[in-house]
Amino acid sequence: MLVGKKPYRTVWWERGTVKLVDQNLLPFSFRIASCKTFRETARAIENMTVRGAPAIGAAAGFAMAQAVLAGKTKEGEKLIKSTRPTAVDLFHAVERVANADDALEEAQTIADESAEACERIGKLGEKLCGARILTHCNAGWLACVDWGTALAPIYMRHRHGKRVFVYVDETRPRSQGARLTAWELRNEGVAHAIIADNAAAYFMKRGEIDCVFVGADRIAKNGDFANKIGTLEKAICAREFNVPFYVCAPSSTFDRKCANGDKIRIEERDEGEVLYQRGLCDDGKIRRVRVCSPKSHARNPAFDVTPAKLVTAYVTERGVFRSF
């Protein structure tokens, strides 16, 4: 991805340190976080300095390499696997690196494979991509090592000079759409509008959305998949209004050991993410403010599961699949 005309990956290795684009600071500040130990990298995964299934996988692979090089393989494996329970890429990466002859080489291979897979997803997905697309959460550069999953077909279409407009779900409570996807699209020069999460059905009914592209954190053997909370609602609306609904994910996101969506563990995060928001105030300072009724509590599931019957097709680096 390009930031200020300079190319970046979301996560990379530099002389023993894992470098990460700090996504908690975006879109108001662009900073590179440096994690010198596997514990620091694991903490960055847990607190969502890095997020998005493929990016988490790459970061987990590098964290595991740090653990192996420090002689802490078992400790590192246990710690890294405990950070985020839903995204299967993390577990695949940890196991690959832990069992490799050369841990660092394997971690770098995982990162490179991820970038190549996402570029391929972009090329295949472009053929399905209409001019007006709805996205949910962030499944672009920032969620991956490069290119993205759900946004890769959009970037391909845009770079080939075709008309494209993106409806960006804000994606509460962490607002990854409003904060991250919109930031990416602006950098790329793609026309877009942020919409409230509960506005998507309105635009679908009016015929203003040609297709929906989303990513995935884990895809079960039967095609059910977990993605950011709110994805299920979009899939139901898309079916009601005959809008094609596409899931874009590399093969590393498929979990053949998981029979169906009921077996996917759903992470529930701190209620503070719902009760508070952090943003740029009129005085130019970034502050955390409460946006909900004082003394009320909240529930905060980070993901939901969409059944395979609501998916038009799965776009992977290995091809487009209409069913399992």
Q: Which residues are catalytic?
A: 217
| Cβ neighbourhood burial of 114 (10 Å; 0-12, 13-18, 19+) | buried
Task: Number of helices (H) and strands (E) in the chain: give both, helices first.
Answer: 11, 17
Per-residue HEC secondary structure of 124-139 comes to HHHCCCCCEEEECCCC
301 close to 229: Cβ distance less than 8 angstroms: yes
How is the chain split among helix, strand and coil, in percent rounded to 5?
40, 20, 40
What is the rounded CA–CA span in Å between residue 169 and residue 230?
A: 9
**Angle 249-255-259 from CA coordinates, rounded to 5°:** 125
Q: Which two tokens stand for residue 171?
A: 């994606």
Q: How many CB atoms lie within 10 A of CB 253?
A: 27
Q: Report the Cα–Cα distance between both ends of the chain, in Å, rounded.
A: 32
Distance CA 80, CA 59 (A): 10
Count of Cβ atoms closer than 10 Å to residue 284 Cβ:
7
Q: How do strand 286-290 and strand 218-219 relate by DSSP bridges?
A: unpaired
Calpha distance 90→88 (Å, rounded): 5
| CA dihedral for 14, 57, 25, 200, sign (positive or negative) | positive
Residue ranges with strand state E in 82-231: 132-135, 165-169, 191-195, 211-214, 218-219, 225-228
